[in-house]
Amino acid sequence: MTALEDRTVQPTITTGPISGSHKEYRDIGDGIKVPFRRVELTNGEHVDLYDTSGPYTDTSATIDVHSGLPKLRESWALEPINGAVTQLAYAKAGIITNEMRFVAAREKMDPEFVRSEVAIGRAVIPVNRKHPESEPAIIGKRFLVKVNANIGNSAVSSSIEDEVDKMVWASRWGADTIMDLSTGKRIHETREWIMRNSPVPIGTVPMYQALEKVNGDPAKLNWSVYKDTVIEQCEQGVDYMTVHAGVLLRYVPLTAKRVTGIVSRGGSIMAAWCLAHHKESFLYTHFEELCDILRTYDVTFSLGDGLRPGSIADANDEAQFAELRTLGELTHIARAKDVQVMIEGPGHVPMHKIIENVKLEEEWCGEAPFYTLGPLATDIAPAYDHITSAIGAAQIGWAGTAMLCYVTPKEHLGLPNRDDVKVGVITYKIAAHSADLAKGHPGAQEWDDALSKARFEFRWVDQFNLSLDPDTARSYHDETLPAEPAKTAHFCSMCGPKFCSMKITQDVRKYAEEHNLSSVDAIEAGMNEMSQEFAEQGNKVYLPVVD
């Protein structure tokens, strides 16, 4: 019996389109169809949005979690180049792969530009050959900022069913990649379920499973257990792996005076191993061998920040930057072997120390895509760390970070549930899109403009449907004005009919047209009229409630 035939596992997952949208495919030839989330507007126009949700939102698709998703990329495999099957090897050889064409269409960019960014290592496309179910995505500073959602059980909480549900749920709301950080029971089976049913690339931290294999004692770890675990996960189709190979023995003492020491799980495991054996990290000493494994599957390195700061006090310290320098050294080794590389970054960083992180990463790691955890811009708000971290994430994204690892409201407090996953993803989509706008990503503003126009023209339904979270937007509106006519009303319950600025502006414009005035005159004239009306109502800002 293969893992998916286990009928005791029956995940309940959400299918069907996001409300107000439907799946649309763009045919780019050779039978390749690129998905979009199409929002049809009430004025006859439509907007096509980037879509990470896979077949789950396609009403014509049959979903059977026990057989897994269709193997989209099964026939795309090319011949190896010097033993490497990586996007980097093909890009360097001047080959535009189907994966590159797919991501180019998704990003509305030129395939040759995609190839050139991958070739110099400034972008990665994490696509393990053994995960053909996944729709390719590109991670790099010249492309849309991506969001990763972490899921996974722990020894004390959650089941396979819950984690499969969270995976589908996270990609539904826009997670570009998902990391399965399971550390509890049935790690292999949980991952198998996630891999076979995931439409987005999956990342892992193989060290977590290796530690389970030696019963949780870091000192008992060794290269052989680790290597076998990496191969096991490569075979399952993991697309990228966090490897904390920059935690060197000599860096560990640098963390001694920190307020929060080593907060990375992988980092602390490796530090414990180095100290127990008083030896250099086996991840570092066997790094080339690791590259030789990853290049035969096209698994992307996500070089882990095992010494990232875990508090505002520890941001940008010697330990953190010593590790980053080593990650740079490893990046060049991996690239020479045609292995794709991303670099993981912090953590907890106050706003004025964010830019330095990006500058040093770009300089030392040859502009390899930066992938950061937030960072939290302050430590004072447990239960709101999706917000403290989205503030840092928006800024580091603007500065050039290619992927943002989400933080949920449960950060520092507990394992996120389904609702936390959605809040985390939506919060991070906001940070990522804000960064796209600030960077001037072509096409990013189209979405904002469409929504603003709908808002200004009181097309409420279009406003809901264009939003990141249509269900919540609609329910907030309906809380006070549930009746159907309110969906076209020229006001909402925040200001009421008399004080809607948008309504007033529209009246001003109408007034200008009717009286043949320039807009400046009209605003003045219109405002005078409004002030008169205001005076007539007794100069009261808050009008009595009328039903």
Min dist CB 26 to ligand IRN, Å, is 31
Q: Name the binder of 304 from Fe ion, ligand IRN, none, CB < 5-8 A by kind.
A: ligand IRN
| Beta partners for residue 341, in sequence order | 301
291 annotated to bind ligand: no
Min dist CB 412 to ligand IRN, Å, is 12
Instruction: Decide: is 372 part of the binding site for ligand IRN (CB under 6 A).
Output: yes
Q: Which of 92, 101, 191, 265 binds ligand IRN (CB under 6 A)?
A: 265
Contact 362, 402 (CB under 8 A): no
Binding flags for ligand IRN, 167-206, as an x/- string (CB under 6 A): ------------x-x-----------------------x-
Q: Which is nearer to ligand IRN, 135 or 344 (CB)?
A: 344
* Size, binding site for Fe ion by CB under 5 A: 1
Q: Tell me 314's DSSP state.
A: G
Contact 114, 87 (CB under 8 A): no
Classified as helix, coil or strand, 356 is: helix
CA distance 48 to 55: 16
Question: Among the candidate windows 2-10, 301-309, 434-442, 453-461, which touches ligand IRN by CB under 6 A?
Answer: 301-309
Both structure tokens of 61: 């698709």
Whole-number CA gyration radius for the chain? 25
Q: Which is nearer to Fe ion, 35 or 374 (CB)?
A: 374
Can you say whether the dihedral through the CA atoms of 36, 37, 42, 43 is positive or negative? Answer: negative
Q: Which of 371, 406, 458, 464 binds ligand IRN (CB under 6 A)?
A: 371
Query: Going along 59-145, which residue ranges are E strands?
Result: 123-124, 139-140
492 annotated to bind ligand: yes
CA distance 315 to 369: 20
Distances (CA, A) of 242 to 74, 238, 266, 301: 25, 11, 9, 6
Q: Footprint of Fe ion on residues 296-335 (CB under 5 A)?
A: 310
CA distance 21 to 15: 13
Cis peptide before 375 (omega within 30 of 0): yes
Q: Name the binder of 372 from ligand IRN, Fe ion, none, CB < 5-8 A by kind.
A: ligand IRN
Instruction: Decide: is 266 part of the binding site for ligand IRN (CB under 6 A).
Output: yes
For the CA atoms of 106, 108, 111, 113, the dihedral, rounded to the nearest 10 degrees, stands at -120
CA distance 418 to 430: 19
Min dist CB 133 to ligand IRN, Å, is 21
Q: Which is nearer to Fe ion, 37 or 348 (CB)?
A: 348
Nearest to 226 by CA among 180, 183, 289: 289
Which residues would be at the binding site for Fe ion (CB under 5 A)?
Answer: 310
Which residues would be at the binding site for ligand IRN (CB under 6 A)?
Answer: 150, 179, 181, 205, 242, 264-267, 302, 304-306, 308, 344-345, 371-373, 405
Binding region for [4Fe-4S] cluster = 492, 495, 500
Binding region = 150, 179, 208, 244, 264-266, 305-308, 344, 348, 371, 412, 492, 495, 500
Binding region for substrate = 150, 179, 208, 244, 264-266, 305-308, 344, 371
